[in-house]
Structure 1
Amino acid sequence: MTNKRMSVQEAADYLGVHHDTVYTMVRTKEIPHFKVRSRIFFREHTLDQWIAAQEEKILKGVTA
């Protein structure tokens, strides 16, 4: 398990979205993150868990 810390741009690259999308998701509390003062960071492992949870929601919706 990796515990790599990522910036907004790194998280955007990891997720394959624009960094503005990540900022919007942070603002609306859609994505797990943490702040150090005004800087926003993400943990790779936490994002992987969040992605798996998103996939699980979709799979449950399809099979329900």
Structure 2
Amino acid sequence: MNRTALTPQEAADFLGVHKETIYIMVRNGQIPHFKVRKKIFFRVDSLNEWIKKQEQNSMKELA
């Protein structure tokens, strides 16, 4: 993926979840995002780092 910022729909596709799930995660402060004129965006680098942290947390729970 060559873009550095994604829309909520693109972030949902990237993560394999429904767009509404993305909005819920934003409201709950569970996913990194930023706003430009009230529109929500997601940096690809931030999402990749977030995925790594989620993976590490899952591994800790299994141990």
Sort the TM-score into its range (normalised by shorter chain): over 0.9
Aligned to 1:17: 17
Structure-2 separation of matches of 1:4 and 1:33: 12
4+ long deviations beyond 6 Å: none
Q: Distance in 2 between matches of 1:54 and 1:14?
A: 15
Aligned positions of 1:19-34 closer than 5 A: 19-34=19-34
> Over the residues paired in the alignment, what is the CA RMSD in angstroms?
1.2
Give the drift of 1:3: 6.3
> How far did residue 26 of structure 1 move?
0.2
Q: Deviations over 1:3-50 (max 9, x none)?
A: 611000000000001100000000000000000121000011100000
TM-score, normalised by the number of residues in structure 2: 0.93
Instruction: Give the TM-score of the pair, scaled to structure 1.
Output: 0.91
Write the mapping of 1:43-58 to structure 2, written as runs, cut at 5 A. Answer: 43-58=43-58
Mind listing any 5+ residue stretches in structure 2 that lack a counterpart?
none
SS state at 1:42 partner: strand
**Matched pairs, number:** 62
Stretches of structure 1 lacking an aligned partner (at least 5 in a row): none
| Deviation for aligned residue 1:61 | 1.2
Identical residues among aligned pairs (%): 50
